[in-house]
Chains A and B, each alone.
Chain A
Amino acid sequence: MSLVIEDPRVVEFDVQTDEMLVNMGPQHPSTHGVLRLLLRTDGEIVHECTPHIGYLHRCAEKIGENLSPPQYIPYTDRMDYLAAMNMNLGFSLAVEKLTKTKVPARGVHLRVLIAELGRIASHLVGMGAYGLDLGTFSPFLYAFREREIILDLFEEACGARLTCSYLTVGGATHDLPEEIEIPDGLASLTGRRAGERYPFLDVLEMFLQWLEPRIWEYHTLLTRNAIFIKRTAGLGILTPEMAVSYGCTGPVLRGSGVEFDLRRDGESIYTDMYKGYEYAIPTAPFADAPREVVVGDNWCRFYVRMMEVVQSISLVRQAIKNYVATPGPVRENFKLGAKLPKDEVYLETECPRGQMGFYLVGNGDGNPLRLRAKSSCFCNLSVTDRICEGVPLADVPAIVGSLDIVMGEIDR
């Protein structure tokens, strides 16, 4: 009789593992706010990813029914708090469409200038935060250094950094300041003395000149980084059919290869603003993409944002030129208690994160009967359970981060 010694090196192949429910959030640092993802995992592999939202629900639509439109502008700041100017603009345009208010020409160019600056600031955060999601810290610091200067300029223009309420119904609350103190950050970056005074538009141009070459540095830091490509390329692929069916918009849609931008394809009240401006609409596939990249993956969504920053810089420059060449007021007066007509309008605008829509029903009263804010991130997020199926757990933050969501806008 021989003794059988079990070989300790034998690997057991038929291990039975139980599925596990993992709660990610709502206090998880890489979920961009109070998003809770309920993951059903088998070991490392995610079988199901259910987003739970609503932790930041502030009843924005109900509040809107009890306020007149100009009073509601500050609430739009708090929707997408990283692109407050663009939210202001979207809501103001919807009210103008309803009340048929016409914005003076100078106000229109001012709006383009401010909205595109807001887009740059928002995409910079998107870039920095995405780096954080993937575990690299330095792009975040660079992005915030640049964004800080834009916020300083916003502060000079309207007094607030995040909750601007600057673009309002009928134009902007007031014109840009003539001369400002150069922001400390920009002064030290460009070798000027802090506290020196320059015309506002000169400071803006200084900043753009400084920012433009930096974008290409970020490409070496992130976009072309081998580890970054490994974490993003070919992952979280969103097919164009799925993107359209799930109502994805903005960089998420264009990253999937659908060339659609409301600045060009939207309603006339919005596209008229951009008449005479020249810009490209960056859309996947990109000729200069690394060869691992697939249309609709994380890398494409990220790259669309980066390329949009370049377009926005050019748009801001064009807007400065037009703004200087157009004298006149920036605002058509809109009375606070003006009655809204018995009519209803829906208007979507191209915000940094996608198409933000406002649906207004007027009923002959000062307050709208119904105010609906359709959020772009809400739609973009709804696709997560489809694109997170079967990916390793560590890739979930990479995929959700590439959608660039802001919970304030999703929950409203």
Chain B
Amino acid sequence: MDIQQIHGVLLERFGEAAVGAAVHQATDAWVQVAPEALVAVARFLHDDARMLFDHLNDLCGVDYLEPDAKKAAKFGHEPHVEVVYHLSSLKLRQQLKLKVSVSRWKDDVPGQLPVVPSVSSIWGIANWHERETYDLVGILFEGHPNLRRILCPEDWTGHALRKDYEFPLEYHGVRGR
């Protein structure tokens, strides 16, 4: 099935509130999914006989923000963070990209990390990828069994792949910058 057919099936089953428009002008088209519907959609994609997306290639977060005020006008994106899921089916040899976007801070309160439901119960590897995304991009995954930092030390502050991240001045007596 190509992306349009998959999008059609998802739209029919979950409705427009859950499944947004598929974006086709990009080289890799994707389907936008609402955060609330993510687990149900993922479960369906994993189990349905037409989909069988048994392999989660990659899960990562992207921070859309231009910290430079001069360039911000030309940036072309509203500030938000996205979680991107690259799925593939080893049996049916098809691929799909899902995106979930949330605001950069929960309820727009700086410092409050946004929340996205966890898919670690569906794909085992999502466990580690979600930990990495939490560590580097600063997104909380609701329902994750063990959401700890994975690459940085546990007492690190900040999330490095946020565009407005500032490297700490010092860490345990070691000068940072």
A residues engaging B (CB < 8 A)?
53-54, 57, 59, 61-62, 65, 97-98, 242, 244-247, 258, 260, 265, 342-346, 348, 355, 357, 359, 361, 363-364, 369-370, 372, 374, 378-379, 382-383, 411-412
Q: Which residue of B has the minimal Cβ distance to A260?
A: B90
Residues of B contacting A374 with CB < 8 Å? Answer: 57-58, 60
Contact B136 A244 (CB under 8 A): no
A-binding segment of B4-12, B36-44, B102-110, B122-130: B122-130
Contact B124 A242 (CB under 8 A): yes
Most buried by A among B86, B125, B149: B125
Contact A369 B128 (CB under 8 A): no
Complex-state Cα separation, A359 to B61, whole angstroms: 11
Residues of B contacting A54 with CB < 8 Å? Answer: 149-153
CB distance from A361 to the nearest CB of B (A): 6
Q: Known: A54-B151, A359-B84, A379-B128. Contact between A342 and B76, CB under 8 A?
A: yes
Residues of A contacting B93 with CB < 8 Å? Answer: 265
Residues of A contacting B75 with CB < 8 Å? Answer: 363
Contact B125 A379 (CB under 8 A): yes
Contact B64 A372 (CB under 8 A): no
Partner of A382, one of B64, B77, B128: B128
Residues of B contacting A364 with CB < 8 Å? Answer: 74, 76
Q: Classify chain B's interface size.
A: 35 or more
Interface of chain B, helix or strand or loop or mixed? loop
CB distance from B86 to the nearest CB of A (A): 5
Contact B125 A246 (CB under 8 A): yes
Q: Which residue of A has the minimal Cβ distance to B151?
A: A54
Is B55 an interface residue when CB atoms closer than 8 A count as contact? Answer: yes
Contact B124 A372 (CB under 8 A): no
Please list 24 pairs of residues, one from A and one from B, whose beta carbons are closer than 8 Å in the complex, sorted by A's number.
A54-B149, A54-B152, A54-B153, A61-B161, A98-B27, A244-B55, A246-B125, A247-B123, A265-B93, A343-B26, A344-B26, A345-B28, A346-B28, A357-B57, A361-B62, A364-B76, A369-B64, A370-B161, A372-B58, A372-B62, A374-B58, A378-B132, A382-B127, A412-B151
Contact B56 A247 (CB under 8 A): yes
Contact A344 B27 (CB under 8 A): yes
Q: Known: A363-B76, A364-B76, A382-B127. Contact between A247 and B57, CB under 8 A?
A: yes
CB distance from A281 to the nearest CB of B (A): 13
Complex-state Cα separation, A98 to B28, whole angstroms: 10
